[in-house]
Amino acid sequence: MTEPVLSIEDLSVSYATASGSVHALSHVSLEILPGRVTGIVGETGCGKSTLAHAIPGLLPVPAAQVRGGRIVYRGIDLTKLPRWKLPMVRGTGIGMIFQEPLNSLNPAFRIYDQVAEAIRIRRIRERGAGATHPEGAPFDYSRPESPSTAATLTRPILPGGAVQEHLKTRGLHDPSMHDEVIEALTLVRINDPETIVRLYPHELSGGMRQRVMIAQALSERPSLLIADEPTSALDVTIQAQVLTLMKELIDELHTSILFISHDLGVIAEIADDVGVLYAGRLVELGPVAEVFERPRHPYTRALLHAAPSRFKDEGPLDSIPGTVPNLARLPMGCVFHPRCAFARENCPADPAPPLRPIGTAPAGEHRTACWHAEEVT
């Protein structure tokens, strides 16, 4: 079995609120294998974004706290990494693409500067690690790093007239940088990069901004890319273009992706493996074809059936009765049992069911957290 790029072991995250502690993630275990796209699907408030933010240490501490578990990336536990070392992991190691590209791009800088910034950071890192590695890409995260290197990476952008001077000193304007920026934008199929680099984010359309975001994330050559609803703000034809682009880039660059979406269709389109989150728990995990064709958790099954796929004269849609539970007051036992069509007396009585192998997929790849999974067909 291949070594996973990232393994999440028994991760629990909770938020402290006025009404008590909210368990956003409970005992989530997940492995992301190299070169594969792992999709995470779930409804609003199921903990998708908490998972995406927990991995690179972007949770809003102290409100959010990792209550237990480990996130192992290249042999080190990211949850134990001191905060000043996290910038070493972000970007070059783990890249991120967010839902709303306008909020993620700096409105005060041209596209050129924003993409060049990412390349500059990669170069600094390569200088640190390149001596020991011919390709310069992998960075030795376990090595003790001096706080000053981390400070260089996170140096704030200066205000006012100092900005231009500051950018010059960062080596943003040398010709090799220019070529690399153009190359990064060409990679994401932007047709006229020479014009685009001179524009500001507000001058681009949503699809173009998302391409710039992808270019920025990929130009740091991450080994893992976390995409949190990257196409949800886009129109459907533009979404189709961006998804096609991402699929092509996966084949070209062999990056592993953690792809988070609420849209079952998007996940079916792009993911190799899929994990279904419900109320902060992973209820089903497996290869996408297996999970979508033979869902073995009642929630996954209900979610797939709720998608409107019939015409009005063909009878009402199947919906899931009830509502998503309040994460501060989760039901006893299996969190889905109050809404479940397959629930029995033991579901609320027993502790929450663990993920267990099921079905015919080899090596226990398809796993579900349901006591009565054999009956779910």
Residue 169 within binding range of other proteins, rule CB under 8 A: no
Of the candidates 308, 345, 360, 362, which one interacts with other proteins according to CB under 8 A? 308
Enumerate residues 6+ apart whose C-beta is below 8 A from 260.
Answer: 39, 40, 41, 48, 49, 51, 52, 226, 227, 228, 229
Residue 307 within binding range of other proteins, rule CB under 8 A: yes
Nearest-approach distance from CB 30 to other proteins, in angstroms: 19
Residue 311 within binding range of other proteins, rule CB under 8 A: yes
Residue 107 within binding range of other proteins, rule CB under 8 A: no
CA distance 45 to 278: 9
Nearest-approach distance from CB 107 to other proteins, in angstroms: 15
Residue 306 within binding range of other proteins, rule CB under 8 A: yes
Of the candidates 107, 161, 316, 351, which one interacts with other proteins according to CB under 8 A? 316
CA distance 333 to 348: 4
# residues contacting other proteins (CB under 8 A): 51
Nearer to other proteins, 310 or 329 (CB): 310
Q: Which residues lie across from 202 on neighbouring strands?
A: none
Enumerate residues 6+ apart whose C-beta is below 8 A from 251.
Answer: none
> How many CB atoms sit inside 10 A of residue 238's CB?
17
Residue 183 within binding range of other proteins, rule CB under 8 A: no
Residue 140 within binding range of other proteins, rule CB under 8 A: no
Nearer to other proteins, 176 or 244 (CB): 244
Taking CB under 8 A as the binding criterion, the range among 87-95, 201-209, 250-258, 347-355 that sits at the site for other proteins is 201-209
Residue 47 within binding range of other proteins, rule CB under 8 A: no
Of the candidates 33, 81, 124, 304, which one interacts with other proteins according to CB under 8 A? 304
Chain length of the chain: 377
The two tokens of residue 12 are 């629990």
Nearest-approach distance from CB 60 to other proteins, in angstroms: 22
Handedness of CA 324, 327, 331, 336 (dihedral sign): positive
Contact characters 261-300, other proteins, x per CB under 8 A: -xxxxxxxx------------------xx--xx-------
Residue 207 within binding range of other proteins, rule CB under 8 A: yes
Nearer to other proteins, 78 or 264 (CB): 264
Q: Which residue has the tokens 């796993």?
A: 367
Nearest-approach distance from CB 164 to other proteins, in angstroms: 23
Name the percent of the chain in helix, strand, coil, to the closest 5: 40, 20, 40
Q: Output the CA–CA distances (angstroms, integers) from residue 371 to 191, 256, 333, 338, in the order listed.
A: 53, 32, 11, 14
Q: Which of residues 226-245 bind other proteins (CB under 8 A)?
A: 235-241, 243-244
Residue 309 within binding range of other proteins, rule CB under 8 A: yes
CA distance 360 to 345: 28
Residue 317 within binding range of other proteins, rule CB under 8 A: yes
Handedness of CA 40, 41, 46, 48 (dihedral sign): positive
CA distance 345 to 151: 57
Q: Could you please report the per-residue DSSP string of 143-185?
A: S---HHHHHHHTPPPPPTTHHHHHHHHTTTTSHHHHHHHHHHH
Of the candidates 115, 226, 283, 320, which one interacts with other proteins according to CB under 8 A? 320
Backbone dihedral region for residue 260 (phi beyond 0: left; psi -120 to 50: alpha; all else: beta): beta
Residue 110 within binding range of other proteins, rule CB under 8 A: no
Nearer to other proteins, 142 or 191 (CB): 191
- What residues line the site for other proteins (CB under 8 A)? 43-44, 190-192, 195-196, 199, 203-205, 207-208, 235-241, 243-244, 262-269, 288-289, 292-293, 302-304, 306-312, 316-320, 323-324
